[in-house]
């Protein structure tokens, strides 16, 4: 009896232990599982903000303020203000530039000009603003009082005093017997008719309505003659302008009057690149050229050849053309005349 009862008792104890173990597990739920592969939203936001505040760019040889702003999609004036750089926007190799607005306290302290580079440092100069309009028209009161030298000569002749007529200062007796024969003085008015006659303006040149379009204060024209094979798509970093097909060596022309602010190959993806500044708001860019024909600081006219078409950083011979307004790419078709 004892040998048979023993296995039954052991079995009963075993069952009680198993039940107790399951009860204990039920009272202690498992720890929550965290998927560490998903970023924490708050952490990502704060990290991104910190990265934005601390983002910088170190200047390399060939850079200009305009090319750096173009590369990062900024207005060159913002980039200059963030770094306390005044016109003519001189930067030097190795200089570290902020790529975001500094705190307000720092903005107030950046009014000073860019520090001079140390001896031996290479300097690269951005093309400055045209300051001719900021100079006063007259530098002294004397200049304002000076008679105008730009009035038509005929007008000055008309206002000149008339020649003096013979006066009768001699005694009356000397002239009583025979009055002197005097030749009447020429009338000044006789010399002035050309002034009163309206001068017809020279005939204006017929406007090429299909070749040019005035938009944004700039008169635009097509920079190349080929077919458009790539169009602008807003927000697409790979389609920020037009791709115009052609053959190697085809002329690439300035789309409007302006000043060359970059001529080089330092921007990845653009190949041999030329950037032209047209006014305070608009830039145009010409990429993938085979050869650049202008240098920084050159003044160019609309239609002037500035490069030869090529395939640098491209799979075919073409011109990549962009228009930037306040640093942001815009659709060139909104500014170019209809073809």
Topology of domain 50-125, CATH: Membrane-bound Lytic Murein Transglycosylase D; Chain A (3.10.350)
Whether the pLDDT of residue 335 is over 90: the answer is: yes
Asked if residue 235 has pLDDT above 80, the reply is yes
What are the residue ranges spanned by the domains of the chain?
50-125, 213-334
pLDDT above 70 covers a percentage of the chain that reads 53
Give every CB contact of residue 331 below 8 A, 6+ residues apart in sequence.
Answer: 232, 234, 323
Residue 310 β-bridge partners: 318
Overall pTM surpassing 0.75 (yes/no): no
How many Cα neighbours within 13 Å face the side chain of 265?
A: 11
Q: Which of 113-117, 172-176, 315-319 has the highest mean pLDDT?
A: 315-319
CATH class of the domain at 213-334: mainly beta
The helix (H) or strand (E) run that includes residue 288 is strand 282-292
Mean pLDDT confidence for 146-167: 42
Buried b (16+ CB within 10 A) or exposed e, 296-332: bebebebbbebbbbbeebbeebbbbbbbbeebebbbb
- Higher-confidence position of 55 and 241: 241
Of 149, 126, 103, 85, whose CA–CA distance to 264 is shortest? 126
Give me the mean pLDDT over the 157-184 stretch: 48
Q: What per-residue confidence (pLDDT) applies to 196? A: 54
What is the per-residue pLDDT for 190?
A: 55
- Lowest mean pLDDT of 147-156, 245-254, 296-305, 306-315, name the range: 147-156
pLDDT at 45: 40
Q: What is the pLDDT of residues 73-99, one digit of tens each?
A: 999 999 999 999 998 889 999 999 999
Phi, psi of 202 (to 5 degrees): -60, 145
Q: How confident is the model at residue 114 (pLDDT cuts 50, 70, 90)?
A: low
- Given this model, what pLDDT does residue 286 score? 98
pLDDT at 249: 97
> Residue 193 — pLDDT band, cuts 50, 70, 90?
low
Output the average pLDDT for the chain.
73
pLDDT above 50 (res 121) = yes
Q: pLDDT digit string (tens) for 12-37?
A: 666 666 655 555 555 555 444 434 33
Dist. CA 126–CA 65, nearest whole Å: 5
Q: Per-residue pLDDT for 142 more than 90? A: no
| Statement: residue 125 has pLDDT above 50 | yes
Please tell me the predicted confidence (pLDDT) of residue 102.
Answer: 84
Is 90 exceeded by the pLDDT of residue 136? no
Task: Answer yes or no: same fold for 50-125 and 213-334.
Answer: no
Binning pLDDT at 50, 70 and 90, where does residue 141 land? very low
| Percent of the chain clearing pLDDT 90 (strictly above) | 45
For residue 148, pLDDT over 60 is answered with no
pLDDT at residue 191 tops 70 = no
More reliable by pLDDT, 165 or 277: 277
Give residue 88's pLDDT: 85
């Amino acid at each position: 009896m004892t040998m048979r009862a023993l296995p039954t008792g052991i079995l009963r104890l075993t069952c009680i232990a198993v039940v107790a173990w399951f009860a204990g597990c039920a009272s202690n739920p498992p720890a929550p599982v965290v998927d560490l592969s998903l970023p924490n939203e708050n952490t990502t936001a704060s990290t991104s903000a910190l990265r934005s505040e601390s983002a910088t760019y170190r200047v390399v040889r060939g850079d200009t303020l305009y090319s750096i702003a173009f590369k990062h999609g900024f207005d060159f004036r913002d980039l200059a203000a963030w770094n306390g750089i005044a016109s003519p926007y001189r930067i030097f190799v190795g200089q570290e530039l902020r790529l975001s607005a500094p705190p307000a306290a720092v903005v107030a302290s950046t009014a000073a000009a860019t520090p001079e580079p140390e001896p031996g440092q290479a300097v690269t100069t951005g093309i400055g603003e045209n300051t001719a309009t900021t100079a006063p028209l007259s530098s002294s009161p004397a200049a304002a009082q000076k008679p105008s030298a730009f009035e038509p000569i005929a007008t000055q002749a008309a206002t000149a005093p008339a020649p003096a007529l013979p006066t009768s200062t001699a005694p009356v007796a000397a002239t009583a017997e025979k009055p002197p024969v005097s030749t009447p003085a020429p009338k000044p008015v006789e010399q002035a008719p050309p002034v009163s006659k309206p001068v017809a303006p020279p005939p204006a040149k017929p406007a090429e309505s299909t070749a040019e379009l005035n938009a944004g204060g700039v008169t635009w024209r097509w920079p190349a003659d080929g077919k458009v094979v790539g169009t602008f798509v807003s927000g697409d970093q790979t389609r920020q302008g037009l791709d115009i097909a052609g053959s190697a060596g085809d002329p690439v022309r300035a789309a409007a009057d302006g000043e060359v602010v970059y001529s080089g190959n330092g921007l990845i993806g653009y190949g041999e690149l030329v950037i032209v500044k047209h006014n305070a708001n608009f830039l145009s860019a010409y990429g993938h050229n085979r050869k650049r024909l202008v240098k920084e600081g050159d003044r160019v006219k609309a239609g002037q050849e500035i490069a030869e078409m090529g395939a640098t950083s491209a799979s075919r011979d073409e011109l990549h053309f962009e228009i930037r307004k306040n640093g942001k790419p815009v659709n060139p078709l909104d500014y170019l005349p209809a073809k």
